[in-house]
Structure 1
Amino acid sequence: MFFTEEIYYKAINFAGEAHHAQFMPGSTIPYVTHLANVCMEVVTALTQSSDSSLNGDLLVCCALLHDILEDTPVSYTEVETLFGTAVAKGVAALTRNTLLPEAEQIPDSLQRILRQPVEIRMVKMADRIDNLRQNPLLWSNSQRKTYQDEAQVILKTLEGCNLYLEEQLRKKINSYNQYLEVV
C-alpha cells in the first residue's frame, strides 16, 4: 500500500531534470512544483484509503511523471526502461493525444485511463485538483468555463476510484466558480 523512498527520489529527480526549464504558466515557479503537488494529493489519498491493494509505487511514479511524455522529449521507451511497463502505460494513458482534435483529447485520455489500474484514475483526479488551484486569470471566461466543465467530466467518468480525491475535486470545481464571470 505504501511507496518506497527510493522510487520517489528516482522519479522526482528524473522529472525534475526533464522539466528543468519549465515554469508554471504566468510565473517563475518551477513546473516540478505541480508534479510534487499532484504527488502530495495521491499520497494523502493513499494514507486515507482502506484499500490495501493500492500500489503506492505506481501511484507516486505516475503522479511525478504524468506530464513527462506530453511536455518533454522523454520517450515512452525511456520511462519503461527506468520505471517499468506499468508506469509507462499509466503515463501514456495520462498523456493527451495531440493528433486528435482538442475536443476529443480529454474523452480519449479518459477512455485510456479507464483501461488502466485504479491508481492511474487517482493521478488524473489529483492532477485536475492541482490544476484547479492555479489562478486562471490569463484565460478568457470561455476557457475557464471549458476547463471547469472538463473537470466535471473527469469527476463523473472516474467516480468510484477514491473518495478523498472525489471530494477534493468536487470542492475545487465548486470554488472555481469564483473565476467565472456572470454573463
Structure 2
Amino acid sequence: MSDRKLVKLAKDYCYNYHEGQLRKGTKLPYHTHPIAVAEILDEFGYTDATTKCIALLHDVIEDSPVITGEIKEKFGYEIANGVYILSKNTINKEIIKQLDNSSQIDIKKLSPDQVYKFRLSFARKKVKRIKIADLIHNTRDLKSLSDRGIKKKLTNAKEFYIPLGKRIAPLMIKELEKNIVKYKKQQI
C-alpha cells in the first residue's frame, strides 16, 4: 500500500473509531485531536507516513473497541507498536510482568502512570515526538480541563515530558513550554 493510501486509511480509522466522541470539556468531535497532533508534527517537519499514521491512531486503542492486532494487520508492526506504546489501557499485569523481568526497577511498585512513562522512555524517537505533539495540542486549550486535570498535565509536562523531549525535539519542547507559560499568564 502506498504511503498516501496508508495515511488515508489511518485518517478513516480515526474518524470511524472516534465517531460520536467529544473532546473533554468541549463540544468538538474527538477526531479533531488526533488530526491536530498529526498537523503539529507536520509543522515541525515530521512528515513520514509512519509518524502520521501513529499520530492519527494514537488514541484509537484507548477510546474504542479496536485492538492492537487489527492495527498491526492493517498498518504493520511499527505503526501498531507505536499506537500500543501510546495507549495507557494496554498496561496490564502481563506487561508489568514482562517489564519487571527485563528491568532493574521493581515495576510492580509503580503506578500505571509511572509504568506508562517508563515504557515511553524506551520508545523510538518518533513515538516520543508524537506524545510531545499530543501534549502541545492538549496545552493549547487547558482551560477546558478541570483544575485537577490541568495540574496533572502541567506537572507531567514539567517533570517528565519536557526533559524527555529536550534532546529529540527541542523546538517542539519550546512550543510546549510557550503554551504552559501562556496559560499561567492568563491565570494571573
With the length of structure 1 as denominator, give the TM-score of the two structures. Answer: 0.82
How many Å apart are 1:46 and its aligned residue?
1.9
Spell out, residue by residue over 1:123-177, the C-alpha distance to the aligned partner (whole angstroms, 9 max, x if none): 000000001112434512x432222111112111232112221211111122221
How many Å apart are 1:178 and its aligned residue?
4.0
- The answer to whether structure 1 residue 60 and structure 2 residue 67 are counterparts is no
**Mapping of 1:78-93 within 5 angstroms?**
78-93=70-85
What's 1:162 paired with? 169
How many Å apart are 1:112 and its aligned residue?
1.7
Change (3 A) 1:156 1:6: same
Instruction: Give the residue type in structure 1 aligned to 2:52.
Output: V
Change (3 A) 1:107 1:178: farther
How many Å apart are 1:65 and its aligned residue?
0.5
The answer as to whether partners of 2:25 and 2:144 remain within 8 angstroms in 1 is no
The answer as to whether partners of 1:110 and 1:157 remain within 8 angstroms in 2 is no
Change (3 A) 1:161 1:138: closer
**Matches of 2:68 and 2:155 in 1, distance apart?**
30
The secondary structure found in structure 2 opposite 1:62 is helix
What's 1:41 paired with? 40
The secondary structure found in structure 2 opposite 1:25 is coil
**Matches of 1:178 and 1:144 in 2, distance apart?**
14
Deviates most, 19-28 or 87-96: 19-28
The answer as to whether partners of 1:80 and 1:87 remain within 8 angstroms in 2 is yes
The secondary structure found in structure 1 opposite 2:73 is helix
Larger relative contact order, structure 1 or 2 (CA cutoff 8 Å, min sep 6)? 1
What's 1:132 paired with? 139
What's 1:7 paired with? 6
Change (3 A) 1:138 1:170: closer
- The answer to whether structure 1 residue 175 and structure 2 residue 175 are counterparts is no
Gap runs ≥5 in structure 2: 94-107
Change (3 A) 1:75 1:163: same
With the length of structure 2 as denominator, give the TM-score of the two structures. Answer: 0.80
- Percent identical residues: 24
**Matches of 2:113 and 2:179 in 1, distance apart?**
18
How many Å apart are 1:57 and its aligned residue?
1.5
Q: Give the number of aligned pairs.
A: 170
**Matches of 2:80 and 2:136 in 1, distance apart?**
22
What's 2:18 paired with? 19
**Matches of 1:104 and 1:136 in 2, distance apart?**
27
Change (3 A) 1:88 1:149: same
